[in-house]
Amino acid sequence: MGEQTYNLTELLICVAARQIPDNVTVFVGTGIPMLAASLAQKMHAPNLMPIFEFGGVGARLEIPPRAVGGSRTFYKAIGAYGICEVLETACRGFVDYGFIGGAQIDPYGNVNSTIIGPQYYPPKIRLPGSGGGNDVGSLVWRTIILMRHEKRRFVPKVDFVTTPGYIDGPGAREAAGLPRGSGPYRVVSTLALLDFDEETKRMRLLATHPGVTVDQVIENTGFELIIPDEVGVNEPPTEEELRILREEVDPERFYI
């Protein structure tokens, strides 16, 4: 596409949707994850099976719900269960992907959505807490983390570990009793797409968003990123992605 015809939220949704392949299960949270899952289901993953925290499994996201307990999370679903059943499904290794967000993230993909400040009580700022974030990050095979990219959010050490990433390096998840081979998979931020180095488990820059430089990503990260010799550039949203997103996924512009 030529001139920019999309906003930052639309770009984030499109890049997140592209990370989800067909024929997988994915834990979906409120907001952008719902739109990303719906867009993926409509664009390239018709057999995508979304799982919602309050028990909807396999819904058709023709009109995305506005919350994880809404009636649309059960629309044409294969089952209506409960929170215990779906989290047990993750415990048993049946959930491939999961979306989470948070206020802070560190080099190993640990996420904080509980408190800001040097002490737990009284905290400087109290945040919503885990919800299903700990379960998703601990138990699904691949976690996709959505974050606003700012130095105060990409920090050397999170103030509180709500959701474990690779904890403090190679082998730490396994030592903590978490499934071998599970962990953070991608970080989709407002500046870039990032993953984690296979050996060190530290965050690595994969691709910048259109118009964003590597230096801008570095300047807005509070720790040293792994920068490979070749850094890609994410494709902007296509006309078809934007049409589906605006006309079918979120026609009321509730999120976008």
In this predicted structure, which of 3-7, 29-33, 173-177 has the lowest mean pLDDT?
A: 3-7
What's the CATH number where 48 sits? 3.40.1080.10
Per-residue tokens: 197: 């180095």
Q: What is the per-residue pLDDT for 2?
A: 46
User: In angstroms, rounded to a whole number, what is the distance separating the alpha carbons of residues 249 and 151?
Assistant: 32
Q: How many domains does the chain have?
A: 1
- Number of Cβ within 10 Å of residue 136's Cβ equals 27
Q: Is residue 23 part of a domain?
A: yes
Q: Is residue 236 part of a domain?
A: yes
Question: Across the chain, what does the average pLDDT equal?
Answer: 95
Cis omega (within 30 of 0) for bond into 164: no
Cβ neighbors of 176 (< 8 A, separation 6 or more) are 164, 167
User: In angstroms, rounded to a whole number, what is the distance separating the alpha carbons of residues 236 and 224?
Assistant: 27
Q: What is the per-residue pLDDT for 50?
A: 96
Q: Is residue 254 part of a domain?
A: no
pLDDT for 1 beyond 50: no
SS3 at position 159: coil
The whole domain housing 102 covers 8-249
pTM listed for this prediction: 0.94
Q: Is residue 256 part of a domain?
A: no
What residues are annotated to the active site?
53
User: In angstroms, rounded to a whole number, what is the distance separating the alpha carbons of residues 52 and 26?
Assistant: 9
pLDDT for 3 beyond 90: no
Q: Is residue 3 part of a domain?
A: no
* Mean local confidence (pLDDT), 112-131: 94
Q: Is residue 1 part of a domain?
A: no
Residues 57-92: pLDDT tens digits?
Answer: 999 998 878 888 889 999 999 999 999 999 999 999
User: In angstroms, rounded to a whole number, what is the distance separating the alpha carbons of residues 26 and 132?
Assistant: 13
Per-residue tokens: 254: 């509730």
Q: Which residues pair with 51 in a beta bridge?
A: 27, 57
Q: Which residues pair with 79 in a beta bridge?
A: 57
Residues 8-52: pLDDT tens digits?
Answer: 999 999 999 999 999 999 999 888 999 999 999 999 999 999 999
Q: What is the per-residue pLDDT for 89?
A: 93
Which has the closest alpha carbon to 186: 234, 114, 122, 119? 234
Q: Is residue 43 part of a domain?
A: yes
